[in-house]
Amino acid sequence: MTNSLVSIIMPAFNAAKFIHYSIEGVLNQSYKNIELIICDDFSTDNTREVVSQYAAKDQRIRLILNDENIGIAGARNNCISAASGEIIAFCDADDVWRSDKLDLQITKIFEGNYSIVSSNCDLIDELGSIVGSRIYPEIITPRMLRFRNFIVNSSAIYRRSAHDFPFCKIKHEDYLFWLNLSRNKSIFCYQEPLVAYRVHADNFTHNKFKSFCWQYFVWRKRGESALVIPLLFLFNLLSRLR
Per-residue confidence of the chain (242 residues) as pLDDT tens digits? 578 999 999 999 999 999 999 999 999 999 999 999 999 999 999 999 999 999 999 999 999 999 999 999 999 999 999 999 999 999 999 999 999 999 999 999 998 879 899 999 999 999 999 999 999 999 999 999 999 999 999 999 999 987 778 999 999 999 999 999 998 889 999 999 999 999 987 665 556 667 878 999 999 999 999 999 999 999 999 998 86
* Residue pLDDT, tens place only, 133-153: 999 999 999 999 999 999 999
Cβ neighbours of residue 133 under 8 Å, at least 6 residues apart? 120, 121, 122, 123, 193
* Global pTM value: 0.94
Closest listed residue to residue 163, CA positions, set 185, 145, 139: 185
C-alpha distances in Å from residue 42, one per residue of 1, 12, 237: 39, 9, 37
DSSP letter at 86 equals S
CATH tag, 6-240: 3.90.550.10
The number of angstroms, rounded, from the C-alpha of 214 to the middle of its chain's C-alpha atoms is: 18
Looking at residue 164, its pLDDT comes to: 72
C-alpha distances in Å from residue 188, one per residue of 4, 151, 166, 224: 19, 10, 22, 25
| 194, 157 Cβ separation under 8 angstroms | no
Q: What is the residue extent of each domain of the chain?
A: 6-240
- For residues 185 and 93, what is the distance between their CA atoms, to the nearest angstrom? 28
3-state secondary structure of 205: coil
Residues, the chain: 242
